[in-house]
Amino acid sequence: MEVVFRRPAAAISRPKGLKPAASVLVTVSTSSPLSQSQLQLQLQPQQRRPFTFSSLTRPPPNYPGHVPLSFIEKAALAIGSGLMSLRDPRRGDLIAAFAEATATPYFIYRLRDAMLSHPTGRRILRDRPRITSTSLNLPHLRSLPPNTVGRTYVEWLDREHVSPDTRAPVRYIDDEECAYVMQRYRECHDFYHALVGLPTVREGEVALKAFEFCNTLLPMTGLSVFAAGTLKPRERKRFWEVYLPWAVRNGLRAKEIINVYWEEELERDVNDLRAELGIEMPPDMRELRRREREERRRRKAEEEEARRMAAMEAAKAAQGQRQ
């Protein structure tokens, strides 16, 4: 008798870069009076057949909230959301849609495989933790000793007036496992901010996106660097001269930051974690901006004083001519 088991692909190791199938057939032959019959035990539903898009049909979602899109729809979403987000970088919904539309077919699978090839990354994929204000217990993080990862993170949240509960759910990535990888990247973004100390101002976001692109290769992070063209001249000069070289150097040499299990690192010294990952702190952007503002105010005060003195000298000269 032949018994054919359909095993889930998640239970079978696969080479790096190979996308998982829905199931795998395993055949076992035994000697039995029922040798003419075949018993199939399906432990997993059969893989869906490819579904053809049309104006009236759409395949069912692969996970809650999933919106299946055709290639043309994804291309239109990528172009539209990309152009509009460059015009208004504060539109987080557009940036999220652009990230999902451009992550397939290669880049999100590369990031997923980077997690599968790392023991901590595999645990994250197995546990699938979510980062929210409840799961992290922010009041507890505020009670941690200074310079711990958790205290550094929550102080950054408080300083920037940011909440971890504002990350949009993934909708446009078809593979359910890859959708979680994108969700994990999205929810870890504030940890990256806190780790390197960059603020949420446009200049800081562009610098962090350059770092993320060199580390994750997600297209959205790379294309976001073009938003440097919208910076003020002095900010753009500082980005090209200071923060872009820092981002490229650290993003390329650092370990894959997607594999950090942040929930397990909260009580660790933040400097030790930076050293382990191979990340150096950039110049304090807020301090540079503060010094720049003070320098502008000083120059403005000197110019006003010079104009006042010139006006007084002119008045004295005019009075002397009249006398």
Q: What local confidence, expressed as pLDDT, does residue 28 receive? A: 47
Task: Tell me whether residue 50 is in a domain.
Answer: no
Task: Tell me whether residue 308 is in a domain.
Answer: no
Does one domain contain both 96 and 157? yes
Q: What local confidence, expressed as pLDDT, does residue 310 receive? A: 82
If one counts the domains in the chain, the total is 2
Does one domain contain both 29 and 81? no
Q: Which of 117, 94, 86, 128 is nearest to 261 (CA)?
A: 128
Does one domain contain both 28 and 116? no
In which band, very low, low, confident or very high, does the pLDDT at 6 lie, cut at 50, 70 and 90? very low
Task: Tell me whether residue 237 is in a domain.
Answer: yes
Task: Tell me whether residue 307 is in a domain.
Answer: no
Distances from the Cα of 130 to the Cαs of 8, 46, 63, 144, 154, in angstroms? Answer: 25, 29, 16, 21, 16
| Cα 189 to Cα 166: distance, rounded to the nearest angstrom | 12
Task: Tell me whether residue 37 is in a domain.
Answer: yes
8, pLDDT greater than 90: no
Does one domain contain both 99 and 229? yes
Q: What is the mean pLDDT of residues 32-52?
A: 46
pLDDT greater at residue 304 or residue 207: 207
| Cα 141 to Cα 143: distance, rounded to the nearest angstrom | 5
45, pLDDT greater than 50: no
Burial of 217 (0-12, 13-18, 19+ CB in 10 A): middle
Does one domain contain both 248 and 114? yes
205 annotated as belonging to a binding site for a ligand: yes
Task: Tell me whether residue 303 is in a domain.
Answer: no
Does one domain contain both 153 and 36? no
Does one domain contain both 12 and 124? no
Task: Tell me whether residue 323 is in a domain.
Answer: no
Does one domain contain both 10 and 139? no
Burial of 41 (0-12, 13-18, 19+ CB in 10 A): exposed
Does one domain contain both 35 and 151? no
Task: Tell me whether residue 240 is in a domain.
Answer: yes
190 annotated as belonging to a binding site for a ligand: yes
> What domain range is 179 assigned to?
71-284
Does one domain contain both 38 and 93? no
Per-residue pLDDT tens digits for 109-143 = 999 999 999 999 999 999 999 999 999 999 999 99
273, pLDDT greater than 80: yes
93 annotated as belonging to a binding site for a ligand: no
Does one domain contain both 210 and 117? yes
Q: Which of 4, 8, 2 is nearest to 177 (CA)?
A: 8
Does one domain contain both 93 and 30? no
